[in-house]
């Protein structure tokens, strides 16, 4: 059995997987309230939607499950979230662009940039900002609208159209040790977040099929996952001057159906191949084990004086 752990409001992302008898979806609210958990494979996700206390408690559960011999992917304590990830990728030479906390907007030294939130998956909050003055003005507008400064980040623009004004966002899954290309999306906007019907011709989808067949960027994207300490998720990236630039790693990506309708045969073939490889890799993580793991103790919900020495870990016995 495999358990995908996410926030309750976003467990739809793996709904297609939930149709398999060897997959269950469980929310953090439920997981953290359980007195016992079955031995299984657990995949933790959705970290950017957790509060600090939920994240800490999830990290204790992760360690308890690992100590009890379960296979567990994505350590909540170690996985890098958006801002830390982008800065690490820049530092390690994997990306050529940078990002800054909005509180350090006066230190931004490369333009154009845009503003977005560090958490959630809303995309950009501004268009491209060409200079420090436009950045300062846009930041002040967002603060007046109620966006918390602590959740705003500045990201340097790094993208290029594949032709004309059409942009492509590529994607690749990591499922344990397997690297699996996903189908791309095309838009007449540099964000290329959801895809836009009719903007890509047949050649773009033939290129897409070749990417899925050969996974030419697997080594570079694996480096990004390893730098992020993420074992499962989907990296979204673009190619600029032939170089992959990783924009984010989503630990709770929405999984589409294998037979999604599309007018181009190459796209349908790419989707089916990517889906087959993905499901095969997920199934390989299924490691049934007998018995139930019982929780011996859990952290208190509040930091009481007795807890001043630290939060006790979850402990498990078979």
- Point out the least confidently predicted range of 111-115, 143-147, 199-203, 229-233: 199-203
Bridge pairing between strands 23-27 and 2-6? parallel
Structural domain includes residue 304: yes
Give the pLDDT band (50/70/90) at residue 194.
Answer: confident
Q: Is residue 260 part of a domain?
A: yes
Mark whether 220 and 206 lie in a shared domain.
Answer: yes
Close Cβ partners of 148 (under 8 Å, ≥ 6 residues apart): none
% helix, strand, coil for the chain, step of 5? 35, 25, 40
Distances (CA, A) of 175 to 205, 216, 259, 285: 24, 17, 21, 8
Report the distance separating Cα 233 and Cα 231, nearest Å.
7
> Does pLDDT of 316 surpass 60?
no
For 262-299, the pLDDT digits (tens) are 889 999 999 999 999 999 999 999 976 556 776 655 55
Number of domains in the chain: 3
Residue 179's CATH number: 3.30.470.20
Domain assignment of residue 188, yes or no: yes
Residue 80 has pLDDT above 90, yes or no: yes
Q: Decide: 32 and 57 in contact? Cβ < 8 Å.
A: yes
In this prediction, residue 193 carries a pLDDT of: 82
pTM listed for this prediction:
0.91
Q: Judge whether 267 lies within some domain.
A: yes
Residues 185 and 248 in one domain: yes
Residue 79 has pLDDT above 90, yes or no: yes
pLDDT of 307 strictly over 50:
no
Domain span at residue 240 reads 167-284
State the pLDDT at residue 290.
Answer: 57
């Amino acid at each position: 059995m495999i358990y995908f752990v996410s926030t309750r409001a976003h467990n739809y992302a793996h709904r297609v997987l939930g149709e398999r008898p060897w997959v269950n979806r469980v929310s953090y609210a439920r997981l953290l309230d359980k007195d016992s958990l079955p031995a299984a494979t657990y995949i933790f996700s959705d970290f950017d939607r957790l509060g600090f206390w939920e994240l800490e408690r999830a990290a204790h559960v992760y360690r308890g499950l690992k100590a009890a011999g379960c296979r567990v992917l994505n350590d909540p304590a170690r996985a890098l979230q958006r801002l830390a990830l982008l800065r690490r990728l820049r530092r390690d030479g994997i990306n050529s662009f940078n990002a800054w906390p909005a509180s350090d907007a006066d230190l931004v030294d490369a333009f154009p940039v845009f503003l977005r939130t560090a958490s959630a998956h809303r995309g950009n909050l501004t268009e491209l900002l060409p200079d420090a003055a436009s950045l300062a003005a846009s930041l002040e507008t967002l603060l007046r609208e109620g966006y918390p400064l602590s959740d705003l980040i500045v990201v340097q623009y790094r993208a290029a159209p594949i032709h004309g004004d059409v942009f492509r966002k590529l994607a690749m899954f990591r499922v344990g040790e397997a690297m699996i290309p996903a189908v791309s999306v095309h838009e007449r906007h540099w964000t290329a977040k959801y895809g836009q019907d009719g903007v890509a011709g047949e050649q773009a989808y033939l290129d897409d099929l070749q990417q899925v067949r050969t996974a030419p960027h697997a080594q570079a994207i694996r480096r990004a996952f390893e730098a992020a300490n993420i074992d499962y998720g989907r990296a979204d990236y673009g190619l600029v001057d032939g170089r992959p630039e990783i924009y984010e790693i989503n630990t709770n990506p929405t999984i589409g159906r294998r037979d999604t309708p599309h007018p181009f045969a190459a796209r349908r073939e790419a989707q089916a191949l990517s889906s087959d490889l993905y499901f095969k890799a997920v199934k390989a993580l299924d490691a049934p084990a007998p018995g139930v793991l019982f929780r011996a103790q859990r952290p208190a919900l509040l930091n009481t004086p007795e807890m001043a020495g630290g939060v006790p870990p979850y402990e498990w016995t078979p």
